[in-house]
A and B are shown apart, each in its own frame.
Chain A
């Protein structure tokens, strides 16, 4: 069990999560879709709760965050330092090299990647052979029909605002 149901307070983000279901991000062949209003803490939940839990469980992960611009610069620098000749490599190829290097990862986290690529089957094509579960933050209303995600069980997770005391937002996190 990675994230058990509990109350999780993030002081520096002024967020309190009331997680009402157990989340086992170790479970195989699952695609978690995280949805909810803006500022309800989906990214904070990933960065402050899920990723530390994955680290504690010694489970390797790949993470594409919202700020793709910074991440692509970083990726270019990282791969250069690792000896890849990437001066003429486009971003798609950069990502491909990076994903294929991450074969020890078992979880892949994508935070609103669909805004850059509504159809990102290629992510599944590159990673499905070694990734066991995906955690996807999205504002798309329904489950995208990724050909590459066939065979994955979809679990929908909803972030709902249940209170605001003038400073801290109380957000319920539940399975749908």
Chain B
């Protein structure tokens, strides 16, 4: 029985999905650095939107240059999602399949509701398909057919 199988996750889904995994959310060490890497510029408008959005989740101490390691696990999960969703919006990315691994169960009930509303908004405007793990299967969220993929 595996408790944590990152290699298996990547092998199974890495070629089809953008995966947000709880223990590997960021490449860089702060929001500013992460945005630099992803946008190849200091996109201060994007950074500001992430910080403003984070405040709605009671992440009141978020700062563009604060080290990710100083946030709690749930705060990092929220920031990883906000960064991804704002980037999708900024770049006008459409049709992406996004897999959340150990993300939603790291987030408190009220914040999960807010985050799912944000995902729903991006789902309709950018045709993003959102999946999460349910046992060994994937469950699609916001799907009309509530489909699962193995």
Query: Is A38 in contact with B107, judged by CB distance below 8 angstroms?
Result: yes
**10 shortest A-B CB distances, which residue pairs?**
A38-B74, A92-B1, A115-B105, A91-B3, A39-B75, A66-B73, A69-B23, A39-B72, A37-B108, A115-B102
B2 at the A/B interface (Cβ < 8 Å)? yes
A112 at the A/B interface (Cβ < 8 Å)? yes
Residues on B with beta carbons closer than 8 Å to the beta carbon of A90: 1-2
Q: What's the interface size class on A, roughly?
A: 20 to 34
- For B33-62 the 0/1 string (1 means CB < 8 A from A) is 000000000000000000000000111110
12 further contact pairs, Cβ within 8 A, besides A38-B58, A66-B73, A69-B23: A35-B108, A37-B58, A39-B58, A39-B71, A39-B72, A69-B6, A91-B2, A92-B1, A112-B105, A118-B105, A139-B74, A164-B61
B22 at the A/B interface (Cβ < 8 Å)? yes
Query: Is A67 in contact with B111, judged by CB distance below 8 angstroms?
Result: no
CB distance from A51 to the nearest CB of B (A): 17
- For B5-28 the 0/1 string (1 means CB < 8 A from A) is 010000000000000001100000
- For A59-100 the 0/1 string (1 means CB < 8 A from B) is 000000011110010000000000000000011100100000
Please give the residue numbers on chain B whose beta carbons come within 8 Å of chain A beta carbons, in ascending order.
1-4, 6, 22-23, 57-61, 71-75, 77-78, 102, 105-112
A4–B45 Cα gap in the complex (Å)? 46
A37–B74 Cα gap in the complex (Å)? 8
Query: Is A169 in contact with B109, judged by CB distance below 8 angstroms?
Result: no
CB distance from A36 to the nearest CB of B (A): 7
Q: Which of A11-69 contact B (CB under 8 A)?
A: 14, 35-44, 66-69
A90–B78 Cα gap in the complex (Å)? 30
Query: Is A39 in contact with B74, judged by CB distance below 8 angstroms?
Result: yes
A31–B88 Cα gap in the complex (Å)? 42
* Residue from B4, B22, B102, B111 within 8 A of A38 (CB atoms): B111
A66–B60 Cα gap in the complex (Å)? 22
Known: A38-B59, A95-B3, A117-B3. A139 touches B72 (CB 8 A): no
